[in-house]
């Protein structure tokens, strides 16, 4: 039977350091997944509720770790120095002190009377550095800073300026020196510390402390950057949609005023009614700053637009609707249908001899809302259909807005044939995230 093998004291200490680093990285990753905690990381100016949430998010698991070390001798779970210093560095001296105080309670109950003063002192040390250090220097503090230490020191000496990366490193090393010195002087029972007679393992203890502090900063900074990129994407999308939306109003206004100019001499009363309707519609469009509306509200706007067209064309124009009731509360981009209806009237009906019909339909197909605008006008040739999405403002604008807002899940398709009218079909996903709708 093979004899069992046990780790030496040095090997056990190295294993403890690795597990300690992994525990802190896992905790930082889990906390970064919570929306409230990420929100706290984003903004440098935090109110007391935010600071308390941050303090509890760190203090509760880290206190459980200290308790595990006291009760189960699981040394890797004790992150007193790192946790208190990190809390102060990110959220301020009082938050760091609160985290240090709470973390030290299990050790204090076990008779480690130096734990309270040391942990609270680490919190104040981190908070003091936060007050003095530029915030971006804190967020740029990296686990690889140890490797760059010679370069930072040389730059500090060359420029005769404070290098905050060096200051942060020295602060962590200084706190570890204090812990090692006090622990060696008064014993492990008064202040917990990891020590080994070998100098190189002791050096690794210092390196592990630096990396254990800097790893959560790196993880949280990545979360901050990701959040900022998402916000920038939302703002860019909103700006692009607004730019596309602004193309529609002048286009519609130009076409309507052109019609009014042709009616002034022959039908002045009709021209006056069109101007009144146009004034009311434009006033409503200017007051409405929403990017998204319900299909019900969009249809109300279309009715106001069609009132103008009915005045222009009289009995020649017929409008039919087949709107499914379960689609009326569907969220759609504002001013989505007006360019499609205008396109039907302008290209399919205006030059047609005799009456014409514009039909609006909506229905649900699985997880998609389908909206169709169809006319029985002159139709469209195959050559023209190929360039329908890229030529002109109306169709290309709707197509681009759907692409920007919904990606590949929102589509505009055109079908038709010469003499058989045209159908514009819009597909909008029903499960769009609320964040995107309010962007």
DSSP letter string, 127-146 = HHHHHHS-HHHHHT--GGGG
The structural domains of the chain, with segments of one domain joined by +, span: 9-230, 264-437
Q: Residue 87: what pLDDT?
A: 93
Q: In this predicted model, which residue has the larger pLDDT, 111 or 312? A: 111
Report the pLDDT averaged over residues 59-74: 92
What is the pLDDT averaged over residues 7-13? 77
Angle at 409 between CA 407 and CA 413, to 5 degrees: 100
φ/ψ bin of 6: left (φ > 0), alpha (ψ from -120 to 50), beta (otherwise): beta
Quick one: angle between helices 199-263 and 394-406, nearest 10?
A: 160
Please report, rounded to a whole number, the percentage of residues in the chain having pLDDT higher than 70. Answer: 85
Asked whether the beta carbons of 352 and 377 are under 8 A apart, the reply is yes
CA distance to 54, 154, 378, 398, per residue, from 371 (Å): 47, 67, 21, 13
What's the pLDDT score for residue 357?
Answer: 86
pLDDT tens-digit series, residues 223-244: 888 877 776 666 556 655 555 5
In the structure encoding, which two tokens stand for residue 290, read together? 């929403």
The answer to whether 402 and 390 have CB atoms below 8 angstroms apart is no
Q: Which residue has the tokens 């109003």?
A: 249
The CA-based angle 285-291-297, given to 5 degrees, is: 60
pLDDT at residue 435, rounded to an integer: 41
Residue 242 confidence (pLDDT) = 57
234 exposure class (CB count in 10 Å sphere: 0-12, 13-18, 19+):
middle
Query: 184, 178, 122, 176: which is closest to 146 by C-alpha?
Result: 176
Residue 16's pLDDT is: 87
Give tens-digit pLDDT for 119-177.
Answer: 999 999 999 999 998 888 888 888 776 666 667 677 777 777 778 888 888 899 999 99
What pLDDT digit, counting tens, does each position of 280-329 carry?
777 766 655 667 888 998 888 888 778 777 777 777 888 899 999 999 98
Q: Would you state the CATH architecture of domain 264-437?
A: 2-Layer Sandwich (3.30)
pLDDT at 208 over 80: yes
The pLDDT value given to residue 60? 93
Position 251 pLDDT exceeds 70:
no
CB atoms within 10 A of CB 437: 12
- The arithmetic mean of pLDDT across residues 26-54, rounded, is 83
Rg of the chain (C-alpha set): 34
Is the pLDDT at 74 greater than 70, yes or no?
Answer: yes
Distance CA 54, CA 123 (A): 13
1 compared with 354, residue with greater pLDDT: 354
Q: Mean per-residue pLDDT for 393-408?
A: 77
pLDDT, the chain, mean:
82
* pLDDT attached to residue 433: 36
Q: What is Dmax (Cα atoms) for the chain?
A: 112
Exposure letters 281-299 (e unless 16+ CB within 10 A, then b):
beeebeeeeebbbebebbb
Helices (H), 160-198: 164-186
């Amino acid at each position: 039977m093979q004899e069992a093998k046990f780790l030496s004291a040095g090997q056990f200490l190295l294993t403890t350091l690795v597990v300690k680093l992994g525990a802190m990285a896992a905790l930082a990753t889990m906390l970064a997944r919570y929306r409230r905690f990420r929100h706290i990381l984003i903004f440098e100016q935090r109110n007391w509720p935010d600071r308390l949430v941050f303090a509890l998010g760190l203090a509760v698991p880290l206190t459980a770790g200290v308790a595990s070390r006291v009760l189960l001798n699981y040394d890797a779970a004790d992150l007193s120095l790192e946790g208190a210093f990190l809390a102060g560095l990110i959220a301020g001296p009082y938050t760091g002190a609160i985290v240090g105080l709470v973390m030290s309670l299990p050790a204090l109950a076990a008779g480690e009377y130096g734990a309270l003063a040391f942990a609270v002192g680490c919190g104040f040390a981190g908070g003091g550095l936060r007050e003095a250090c530029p915030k971006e220097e804190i967020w740029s503090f990296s686990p690889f800073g140890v490797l760059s230490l010679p370069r930072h020191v040389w730059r500090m000496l060359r420029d005769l300026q404070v290098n905050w990366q060096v200051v942060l490193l020295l602060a962590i090393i200084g706190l570890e020196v204090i812990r090692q010195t006090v622990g060696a002087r008064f014993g492990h029972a008064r202040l917990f510390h990891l020590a080994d007679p070998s100098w190189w393992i002791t050096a690794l203890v210092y390196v592990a402390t630096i990396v254990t502090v800097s790893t959560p900063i790196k993880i949280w900074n990545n979360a901050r950057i990701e959040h900022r990129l998402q916000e920038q994407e939302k703002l860019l999308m909103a700006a692009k949609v607004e730019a596309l939306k602004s193309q529609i109003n002048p286009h519609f206004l130009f076409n309507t005023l052109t019609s009014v100019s042709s009616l002034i001499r022959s039908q002045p009363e009709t021209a006056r009614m069109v101007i009144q309707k146009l004034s009311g519609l434009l006033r409503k469009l200017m007051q409405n700053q929403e990017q998204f509306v319900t299909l019900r509200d969009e249809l109300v706007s279309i009715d106001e637009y069609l009132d103008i067209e009915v005045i222009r064309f009289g009995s020649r124009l017929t409008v039919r609707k087949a709107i499914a009731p379960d689609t009326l509360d569907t969220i759609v981009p504002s001013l989505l249908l007006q360019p499609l209806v205008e396109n039907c009237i302008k290209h399919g009906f205006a030059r047609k001899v005799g009456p014409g019909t514009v039909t609006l339909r909506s229905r649900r197909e699985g997880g998609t809302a389908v909206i169709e605008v169809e006319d029985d006008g002159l139709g469209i040739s195959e050559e023209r259909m190929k360039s329908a999405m890229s030529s002109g403002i109306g169709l290309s604008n709707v197509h681009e807005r759907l692409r920007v807002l919904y990606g590949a899940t929102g589509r505009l398709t055109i079908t038709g044939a010469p003499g058989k009218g045209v159908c514009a079909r819009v597909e909008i996903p029903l499960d769009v995230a609320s964040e995107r709708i309010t962007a």
